[in-house]
Amino acid sequence: MKKFQKEFEVHYYEVDFYQELTPLALLNFLEETAIAHSEAVGYGVTRLKEKGYGWVLSQWQIEMDQYPHYGEKVKIQTWPSHFQRFYGDREFLVLNSQDKVIARASSLWIFLNLEKRRPTRIPQEVSDAYHIFPDKALSFPFPELKMSQTREKKRSKFMIRRSDIDTNDHVNNAKYIEWVLETIPEEVYRTYRISSLEVVYKKESTYGQMIQSVTEEQQRVDQEAHYVHQILERDGEEEVALALAQTRWSKR
């Protein structure tokens, strides 16, 4: 039994001004590989939807050693490492054109009853369709994503665009990262690159909503910078978290 693998070419519209793959495009590649794997074992998005089920992403943990460049071909390897009740853990390795591992990711998915929008037990036939490899791509635990009460925060507001919406009629997971990136100071955005990224998704959001991206700089020393992020919606008087995230950056 081999781990599932998919190849991607890095396009010009997927790179930044250094001609390196953007974090947004990387997330798209990872999710695409997970979807393709499920298609390959016979439980793709459409088949699951017909049965009233779907997977939603709950957590990302990503570590990037190197970013592939424009025109480069990368391979993404993925495997489920654990299924439990309505939870599924899925791992990823990103290999560059020399077959060197340049990134690692772990993700946590929730199996949903689409009609009730509630987690539901993964049916035996679904979990049986996959081969489980118990090894993890990343070994450290998911961090606590906490903001201080006192430090200054940078805030940006966004109106959710149609182009932010995916085939499920809610905001695509990768888009939250787009909003996170908007709040990074220009100097860091230009001269650093993300070395690690963690996200927890808390609540869906939909077309036309106004959301707020809040960022706190935790540390900027020498070659490293560290930020904690919240994506918020206003629900009446209260601010409700749609997602929490953390990014670590290293100088280029």
> Measured from the CB of residue 24, what is the shortest distance to its own copies in angstroms?
7
CA distances to 12, 155, 164 from 175, rounded to whole Å, are 19, 17, 6
Burial 142-171 (b: 16+ CB within 10 A, else e): eeebeeeeeeeeeeeebebeeebbeeeebb
Query: Which of 11, 51, 73, 131 touches its own copies by CB under 8 A?
Result: 11
| Region of 11-19, 116-124, 143-151, 226-234 interacting with its own copies (CB under 8 A) | 11-19
Query: Which of 3, 189, 220, 233 touches its own copies by CB under 8 A?
Result: 189
| Region of 115-123, 126-134, 166-174, 226-234 interacting with its own copies (CB under 8 A) | 166-174
> Measured from the CB of residue 151, what is the shortest distance to its own copies in angstroms?
23
Instruction: Tell me if 35 contacts its own copies by CB under 8 A.
Output: yes
Query: Which of 161, 202, 251, 252 touches its own copies by CB under 8 A?
Result: 161
Instruction: Tell me if 162 contacts its own copies by CB under 8 A.
Output: yes
> Measured from the CB of residue 134, what is the shortest distance to its own copies in angstroms?
27
Both tokens assigned to 17: 């001004």
| Residues in binding contact with its own copies, number by CB under 8 A | 29
* Closest CB to its own copies among residues 138, 181: 181
Instruction: Tell me if 46 contacts its own copies by CB under 8 A.
Output: yes
Which residues have CB under 8 Å from 72's CB, separation 6+?
A: 9, 10, 96, 97
> Measured from the CB of residue 158, what is the shortest distance to its own copies in angstroms?
8
Q: Are 36 and 166 in contact (CB under 8 A)?
A: no
Q: Are 96 and 102 in contact (CB under 8 A)?
A: yes
Q: Are 49 and 114 in contact (CB under 8 A)?
A: yes
Q: How far apart are CA 246 and CA 186, in angstroms?
A: 17
Instruction: Tell me if 45 contacts its own copies by CB under 8 A.
Output: yes
* Closest CB to its own copies among residues 86, 158: 158
Centroid of chain to Cα 225: 20
What string of DSSP letters covers 88-152?
A: EEEEEEEE-TTS-EEEEEEEEEEEEETTTTEE-PPPHHHHHHSPP----S--SPPPP----SSS-
Both tokens assigned to 56: 């939603």
Which residues have CB under 8 Å from 9's CB, separation 6+?
A: 71, 72, 73
> Measured from the CB of residue 123, what is the shortest distance to its own copies in angstroms?
22
Instruction: Tell me if 71 contacts its own copies by CB under 8 A.
Output: yes
* Closest CB to its own copies among residues 29, 83: 29
What residue ranges bind its own copies (CB under 8 A)?
11-13, 15-17, 19, 24, 28, 31-32, 35, 39, 45-46, 71, 158, 161-163, 166-167, 169, 172, 174, 178, 181-182, 189
